[in-house]
Amino acid sequence: MNILIMGPAGAGKGTMSDLILREFDIPHISTGDMLRENVRNNTELGQQAQQYMNAGKLVPDELINAMVEQRLLEPDCQKGYLLDGFPRTLVQAQAFEEMADRIGKPVESVLALEVSFDTLVDRITGRRICPKCGAIYHVRNKPSKAEGICDECGSELQQRKDDTVEQLKVRMEEYDDHRLL
Ligand code: ADP
């Protein structure tokens, strides 16, 4: 199954993705996660992307398109894919359509999540993430058992650098300026 999941920051793409992955044996490809991993590993792509990400701005299309195409050619995508956070601009959508056809993996299903701005602000500013296992919490809606500690693996929870009200505004503007649906 070839699936796209779309929606602004805090819409619940991660949570919905987990549910989808229970049904389908496909890799979860989140461009945000891939970029953060590149930043952590200090790759050339990570160095190029970091400034945009810290500012809440979109990373240039050509970097993202190349990263996704390379990922879709990996063997685990034979079974399909769940693409999360891509395409996010018209240029990416056009490039994606072309590459997906070329490599024989056209999209079969698209999920678009819509959530009010106030709810997004609440979800994003309260979001806490486990840097080790990726578990996601919310300080009020889904707190960990011990404050600041991951229930799954005991690591110290963190707040994403761009999960502040100011950054969220920029991210939402970016999303609206480029929205595809
Ligand atoms: P959000 O839901 O806030 O956009 P993501 O984890 O999906 O969070 O992305 C984090 C950041 O990574 C974005 O603010 C942007 O800088 C960059 N990014 C992720 N996906 C894309 C994309 N498809 N195009 C451009 N930039 C992207």
Tens digit of each residue's pLDDT, the chain (181 residues): 999 999 998 999 988 999 999 999 999 999 999 999 999 999 999 999 999 998 889 999 999 999 999 999 999 999 999 999 999 999 999 999 999 999 999 999 999 999 998 999 999 999 999 999 989 999 999 999 999 999 999 999 999 988 988 888 898 899 889 888 7
Q: How far is the CA of 56 from the centre of ligand 1 (A)?
A: 8
127 carries an active-site annotation: yes
pLDDT the model gives residue 168: 87
171 carries an active-site annotation: yes
pLDDT the model gives residue 165: 87
Looking up tokens 């994606």, which residue turns up? Answer: 96
Q: How many CB atoms lie within 10 A of CB 41?
A: 9
Q: Return d(Cα 170, Cα 181) in angstroms, integer.
A: 19
Q: For the purposes of burial, counting CB atoms within 10 Å of the CB of 47, is it exposed (0-12), middle (13-18) or buried (19 or more)?
A: exposed
pLDDT the model gives residue 64: 98
Ligand 1 neighbours (beta carbon < 6 A): 9, 31-32, 35, 52-53, 56-59, 64, 85-86, 88, 92, 162, 171
